[in-house]
Structure 1
Amino acid sequence: MFEIRKASKSSGAKSTSRRDVLIGGTAAIAAPYVLSTAAKASDRLVLVFAGGSTQIALEEAIVKPFTAETGIPVTIVNTIDMAKLKIQVESKTTEWDLFDFVGPALMQAGSQGLLEKIEPDVFKGTAMFENPSPYMVGYGIYVGGICWDPARNPKAPRTYPEFWDVKKFPGRRGLRMRASETLECALLADGVPPKEIYPMDLDRAFRSLERIKPYVRKWVEQTQQTVDLVQTGELDFSYTYLNRTKAARDAGISMDFSQDQLVVYGSYYVVPKGAPHKNAAMRYLSFLLRPDRLADYCRRVSVIPGNLKANEFLDEATRKSLPDVNNPAYVVLNNAWWAENFAKVEPRFKEFVLSSR
């Protein structure tokens, strides 16, 4: 579960409830820690990121200002490949400096020794949601839900039981090609209350997936495709993210998104073991968590800031548009459970998807 990081004496931050911070912001901003000048302009960072519209926001709000201030250029690559990360680290040929992904897979990577520990001073002056691992920086809280094109489908499922109801809502479905988030959706569809999702009843979750599997046209690997395939008409209803649908609507694309029942999860940066520019990577992370910079990014993509001090820099319209993660209809992804179970659940899920049954 997401919790506020306990403020250290050096940070000067006060402990605040999650609801208070999400709704109202905080009153004081502590100066961000500036890491060693050992991170220099010649250290070109390579950042692995999902791409799409969110990357544009990242470039404008974080990457370009970071380079302008430090002189350190950043190259973004869209190769979110955990197997490749493991090969690079184990062969001592690490090419990437920063890697952005979801918690369950990164928790396993940390336990396997594939990641660098984050310098504590990266968090100096912040009021963070509790990071689930010393290897991770939880910079943003995302939400996953159901999207559709209202021009083509004015009647659409708004909850996971409805998404599973193919008679009432006929159409081609899209789900993620990963166990985390997808199994949570399956249990919600089967009537499990959000607070009772964990510990997860895996057999029940896979039985639920069996019912919807014949109607899943696409198990989506690339995040941007969760909206693109709806836009092009290949899918009628898809699991996707608030930030992706916002970008589509901002571009004039017919797209709707239900906030009736959501999966809430953190997105995290990690530094791969042996990263060629580790010091510069830590400097980037410190810059990312600055309240004004992070708020600019989150405003552009409708994401709840991981450093809660950034809420003060969000305009009122943005704060009102963000979902309340305390909503009892939402399930918050449990990284601790996934850390213990990812290694056995993910292969089972992949085998299930690829099987002909």
Structure 2
Amino acid sequence: MKHLLKSAGVAAVGVAALGFAGAASADTLTVVSWGGAYTKSQIEAYHKPWMAKTGDTINSEDYNGGLAEIRAQVEAGNVTWDLVDVELSDAVRGCDEGILEVLDAADLPKGDDGTAAADDFIQGAVNECAVATIVWSTVYAYDKTKFKEGPKTIADFFDTKKFPGKRGMRKVPKANLEFALMADGVPANQVYEVLATPKGVERAFKKLDTIKNETIWWEAGAQPPQLLADGEVVMTTAYNGRLFNAIANEKKPFEIVWDGQVWDLDLWVIPRGAPNKDRAWEFIKFSTDTQRLADQAKWISYGPVRRSSFPKVQPDMQPHMPTAPNNFKNPLQNDFEFWADYGDELNERFNAWLAS
């Protein structure tokens, strides 16, 4: 998902090992996330403070999302991951499948302002098996050096006559089908109603057909900014935090187009049978408190899911959040129930379409 530092986990482990070699009660947690700038933000905001507080070691691993690896570990009775960062549709489906631990939401800490957790977290951020950390978006960006006047709308992404050049898209149907329908004129608030019909699915794939031959497909979140930087594409869909990192920290000449952004949540889950289940739950409570969520926003432009955290986000970072007023004019919230219900079917259809 979404979110460059393959060695970040190793570095974190080293800090813990040096600082707490003699801690008798220390645990080792294996925390799995998406890598890159996103995992770096978690290491800085969550892992390092947790290790300093507890003496634990955190083994940070990367993956490309989905439930396949969690499911395989649970079914084999050989769970090696303690904590995994997942998208909302996967959290819901994994809970339904029984491959995730049930969490006691009543045990989550209050906000720093005294607000009960149930009222402090935004709607949908806490469910039976998961606790959210961030609001993030799939958007698209273009290389400003390639156009005198760049694209402004989601429809422009599909307009290869006005904006010629290769596109980059994630190699999954999620967000791509939504982008296609919005580009084809479907209002954001009607996208899932249309996509739930056979005609709507056909319409989305027909729109994708128009750029299929001009598209390079990416899988890991670090790829789209690299594709842009290398000139392999002139515009690409990507996770907004990855683009922010490329623009703000690497000084790349990229421009984000927020029109039609598909926003989502990322959440912590514990695979059923995790070796350090109780410790992982303590880490979740720590990493989703008011201060930790605000601290993460120092490192990446993903919005915190606690209301009490927003006032603590640095002012210079606030305009880069998906939910900033100027960015949130035509957003679409990913419908996790839709993807939990139709994900397998549409993944199969998408893979067959790619192969055709």
Q: TM-score, normalising length from structure 2?
A: 0.83
Structure 2 unaligned regions, length at least 5: 1-23, 111-116
List structure 1 runs of 4+ shifted beyond 4 angstroms.
none
Partners of 1:213 and 1:132 lie apart in 2 by 37
**Counterpart selection for 1:149 from 119, 143, 146:** 143
SS in 1 for 2:133: strand
Quick check: 1:120 aligned with 2:113?
no
Q: Does structure 2 conserve the Cα–Cα contact (< 8 Å) formed by 1:224 and 1:244?
A: yes
For 1:269, the equivalent position in structure 2 comes to 268
What displacement does 1:212 show?
Answer: 1.8
For 1:331, the equivalent position in structure 2 comes to 332
Q: Does structure 1 conserve the Cα–Cα contact (< 8 Å) formed by 2:88 and 2:265?
A: yes
For 2:351, the equivalent position in structure 1 comes to 350
SS in 2 for 1:222: coil
Q: Does structure 2 conserve the Cα–Cα contact (< 8 Å) formed by 1:110 and 1:135?
A: yes
Taking a change above 3 Å as real, the CA distance of residues 123 and 206 of structure 1, as seen in their structure-2 partners, is farther
For 1:22, the equivalent position in structure 2 comes to none
SS in 2 for 1:300: coil
SS in 1 for 2:175: helix
Partners of 1:170 and 1:219 lie apart in 2 by 17
For 1:314, the equivalent position in structure 2 comes to 313
- 2:58 counterpart letter in structure 1: V
What displacement does 1:41 show?
Answer: 4.4
What displacement does 1:122 show?
Answer: 4.7
Taking a change above 3 Å as real, the CA distance of residues 153 and 66 of structure 1, as seen in their structure-2 partners, is farther
Q: Does structure 1 conserve the Cα–Cα contact (< 8 Å) formed by 2:34 and 2:64?
A: yes
For 1:106, the equivalent position in structure 2 comes to 91
Partners of 1:132 and 1:180 lie apart in 2 by 22
Partners of 1:350 and 1:117 lie apart in 2 by 32
Partners of 2:315 and 2:63 lie apart in 1 by 35
For 2:218, the equivalent position in structure 1 comes to 220
For 2:3, the equivalent position in structure 1 comes to none
SS in 1 for 2:260: coil
For 1:17, the equivalent position in structure 2 comes to none
What displacement does 1:350 show?
Answer: 2.2
Quick check: 1:90 aligned with 2:70?
no
- 1:232 counterpart letter in structure 2: D
What displacement does 1:241 show?
Answer: 2.2
For 2:31, the equivalent position in structure 1 comes to 47
Quick check: 1:57 aligned with 2:56?
no
Matches within 5 A, 1:1-357: 41-80=25-64, 82-125=67-110, 126=117, 127-129=120-122, 130-131=124-125, 133-199=127-193, 200=195, 201-216=200-215, 218-249=216-247, 250-324=249-323, 327-353=328-354, 355-356=355-356
Deviations 1:158-205 (A, max 9, x none): 322110111111011111112221111111111110000122232222
Taking a change above 3 Å as real, the CA distance of residues 132 and 345 of structure 1, as seen in their structure-2 partners, is farther
Q: Does structure 2 conserve the Cα–Cα contact (< 8 Å) formed by 1:104 and 1:180?
A: no
SS in 2 for 1:275: coil
Deviates more, 1:230-239 or 1:102-111: 102-111
Taking a change above 3 Å as real, the CA distance of residues 153 and 54 of structure 1, as seen in their structure-2 partners, is farther
What displacement does 1:132 show?
Answer: 6.6
Structure 1 unaligned regions, length at least 5: 1-39
What is the Cα-based RMSD across aligned positions, in Å? Answer: 1.9
